[in-house]
Amino acid sequence: MNGKTDIIVVGTGVSGLFYALNIPGTKNVLMLTKAAADESDSYLAQGGICVLRDADDYNSFFEDTMKAGHYENDPASVDVMIRNSPQIITDLIALGVEFETKDGELVYTREGAHSRARILYHEDLTGAEITSKLLAQVKRRPNITIVENMAMVDLICQDNQCSGVVACDRDGSIELYHSDYVVLATGGLGGLFHSSTNLAHLTGDAIAIALKRQITLENISYIQIHPTTLYSRKPGRRFLISESVRGEGAVLYNRKMQRFVDELLPRDLLTKAIHEQMKQDESDFVWLSMQDMGREVIINRFPNIFKHCLEEGYDITRECIPVTPAQHYFMGGIKVDLNSRTSMGHLYAVGEISCNRVHGANRLASNSLLESLVFAKRAARDTTANYQVASEGSHPILDLTEYKDLEQLRLAYKTIILEEIERSKVIERIDKA
């Protein structure tokens, strides 16, 4: 038993960190994370973060997002994301985040399915730049405490009201954390897949727990595949070759070194084209060429990609690299409203684990960081404005023997999630028939 705090945030990616930073210092925030605080997918985002450049950009930004999502997006959510984007960038800069500038002005790049350059970036490490600066700010706040290597295994709830988290440490010791509010910021589920750009420990546990606790989910079969990851026979996470590489002019070739597709297609359409080409070529990959950008541009604009590929034996300034699609992003999740409230009282969900329907059936490149930050801030403001102390009767007595065999529980959670994804796919096909 670990007493009671005001707010528990599960996860230390951008959404969880930004939520915590937008909570007043008078409230105590406890952040639990499954691994180390800096081991989140937010660190892996290479390309950048979208922003509304000016009033004239609104219609095209809105249409680009809707079109990429096959118009299954919620227009209200898209509107909220776009209109709040300039303030989010202002907030980030105030917190120490550095974006690429030239002569004192922000520099914008373009990625696939964008009709205009509206993406801010920091080299090819935008996620690491944003997340590291947010984490540094969180560590300075006396009202925020981070507990690492503490994995959520259940929620404490009763009468559809959440009042805490059941978690376990690396040694399997079960800990109970009580609170007035819980915020799920647990990231994606790439760890369930054989080939993914995600960190292996991100296995979507919150989805299984939501199913167990009858919390409403939405679109959980909407799982995005990234078209270009570095092909490798090695086991483990796939290295992402950023969308911005193609936005800056990289091209795709088939086995005969012939260009076969428009590289700026939305991700799902480009992935389909690559799979079809791989089938024709009887190959596990296609070729990506960056050479025409020039050595100086490649090294300065994409230093991390250049370094990693060189370590794998490819000099991207002089030769093509083999790329292949891999699981990348979860667009469904725990259903939330415009303030990130779930169907359970005193429970919020933000970031990749949530589904506010911004992304529809296919996420537009570089909308993920923006969406996470916009709706995390809204969740924090909603919590603050409507704060209520959890009722005395909201802490049920738990049977801890349920968590005795953690390996069996994790396997059960994985099975539950994968079965629900398949079930949702069937329902989706029926609905669209």
Query: Annotated active-site positions, please?
Result: 267
Q: How far apart are CA 156 and CA 168, in angstroms?
A: 14
Residue 122 burial (CB count, 10 A): 18
- The answer to whether 372 touches 19, Cβ cutoff 8 Å, is no
Torsion-angle region of residue 216: left (phi > 0), alpha (psi -120 to 50) or beta? beta
Q: How far apart are CA 241 and CA 226, in angstroms?
A: 9
Query: Strands (DSSP E) along 101-222, which ranges?
Result: 101-102, 105-106, 119-120, 144-147, 151-158, 161-168, 174-184, 217-218
Task: Specify the 3-state DSSP secondary structure of 425.
Answer: helix
In the block, tokens 């428009």 appear at: 262
The two beta strands, 151-158 and 333-335, are: unpaired
In sign, the C-alpha dihedral spanning 291, 297, 301, 305 is positive
Phi, psi of 243 (to 5 degrees): -55, -35
- The answer to whether 137 touches 93, Cβ cutoff 8 Å, is no
- The answer to whether 32 touches 10, Cβ cutoff 8 Å, is yes
Q: At 24, which amino acid appears?
A: P
Q: How many CA atoms lie within 13 A of 263 on its CB side?
A: 24
Q: How many CA atoms lie within 13 A of 162 on its CB side?
A: 28
Q: How far apart are CA 3 and CA 179, in angstroms?
A: 9
Task: Specify the 3-state DSSP secondary structure of 161.
Answer: strand
Which alpha helices (H) appear in 55-125, and where do they start and end?
58-68, 75-94
* Both tokens assigned to 181: 């509010």
* Both tokens assigned to 91: 């907030």
Task: Specify the 3-state DSSP secondary structure of 48.
Answer: coil
DSSP class of residue 54 equals S
Residue 107 burial (CB count, 10 A): 13
